[in-house]
Amino acid sequence: MSTRRAECKGCLNRRVFLAGMAGAAGAAGAAGLGALGGGSILAAPQAASTAKTKVRLVFSHHRIDAQGKQSEPGWPYLGYDCEGAKREILGKLAKACPAVEFLPTTAYSAEDAKKILAADKAVDGYLAYMLGGWATAGQTIAAAGRPVIYVGDLYGASGEILVAIAEARRRGLKAFGVTSSRFQDVVDALRCFETLKKLKSSAIVVVGGEPGPVGKAIEEVFGTKVVPVAFPQITEAYQKADRAQARQWAEKWIRAAKRVVEPSPEEIERSAAMFLAMRSLMEKHHAQAITINCLGGFYGGHMSAYPCLGHFQLNNDGLVGACEADQQSTITMLLMGYLVGRPGYISDPVVDTATNQVIYLHCVAPSKVFGPSGPANPYEIRSHAEDRKGASLRSLMPAGEMTTTILFAPTRREVILHQAKTTGNVDDPNDYPKSCRTKLMAEVKGDVNKLLSYWDLWGWHRVTFYGDHKRAVEQISALAGFKLIEEA
């Protein structure tokens, strides 16, 4: 391991990135899809439901007089304009969250909250906005098992929301709180409700594998449909793929690449035909994600090309392409794509305790790690590393960035998380690397030795996302009823 070093050409920092690295790879992504009859996240093969997310907005405060003013002493103060405050808050929420339909009401007590629960039939979540008064409305709703976001006026409901947050954490309720002077924090929190709603209208295609217990749990927990597809179906789709379009895709990928090493143009065209086959299956099954038993398919003679470049393109475009029929990684990528708008990088991590680093390895990765509309980083087209066949990808991802690495386990209702700051890409001497093509290095935030504790329970794969998304993961985990485990 002492020979490992960062390859400077591939380790661009964020400032350089944003200054001008969008380039050809970006054009080959969203724009290229449009030209070739596909679509980006804005025009996916089958977009998730665009129906508005329905959120019951429950205001709570002291009793008011005929003018809508607080009629008794207490925080914020006697005479506080409760009705005016509610109008202002509702206006700001409606403007900031156009995809959400807010259904406002007021509760003065736990009994009022119970009446609201009895009347509600089809809302996606509750926003309990505490202005004062200790009504315990939000807590009553959360105790009934409904997903709730608490928001407290800093100088009107501090005591109530602090107690509510602590109780929710202690009891494992589907609730969390926002106690912040920054309104954007409330807006960001509401993305959790939007994400969970989109998952209910989404589908995952699993090629060469059965849904099994994980697939069943995905359907039960998130409402996401899991569709098994046998190898002969992807073979048929591959044979029917338009070879002229496949050639155009291959040419785009080649032009955008920093270099092409092993694969011939014909091999890359086969990968492009496989990409078109993958997209046709997604369209057929109204899916936003696909995961393929790629090693079993290729080694077993069921597939004529690796899907690595297809996964790369799907992930760049805001959809999900996941390796090895790994349904846990797939639902993780789909969920986080909706929540933070960035693709996941599924990998087999290597831990180096000598340098406090984790190295994320795989033969496929996105090159638009900041999302479909973000800048693109350089990449190389290589053979698949383990058998030196087909076409795969080495993505040279940016250094100096915080990453959040997670995995949702629907069967256990748990999610595991660690964070690390990227330091570069492993430089493989003589172009003859061990293991996988993409090797992203990152310095662990926390205890690298603690990071050795959970692999027997969670398996090898993890999914890495650029950015500090710890709070977002904490929030959506709470609403979905998942326990969060920090592994470093």
Residues of the chain with pLDDT under 50: 1-44
**In degrees, to the nearest 5, what angle opens at C-alpha 467 toward C-alphas 12 and 367?**
50
Pairwise CA distance, residues 324 & 321, whole Å: 10
* Cβ–Cβ < 8 Å for 483, 413: yes
pLDDT of residue 362: 83
Residue 402: strand pairing partners: 421
pLDDT of residue 480: 97
Per residue in 349-388, pLDDT (tens digit) is 999 999 999 999 987 899 999 999 999 999 999 987 777 7
Domain boundaries, the chain: 8-48+201-486, 53-197
Phi/psi region, residue 133 (left: phi>0; alpha: psi -120 to 50; beta: rest), is: left
Q: How far is CA 406 from CA 52, 349, 447, 487, in A?
A: 28, 12, 16, 10
Q: CATH number for 53-197: choose from 3.40.718.10, 1.10.10.2160, 3.40.50.2300, 3.50.50.60.
A: 3.40.50.2300
* Cβ–Cβ < 8 Å for 396, 377: yes
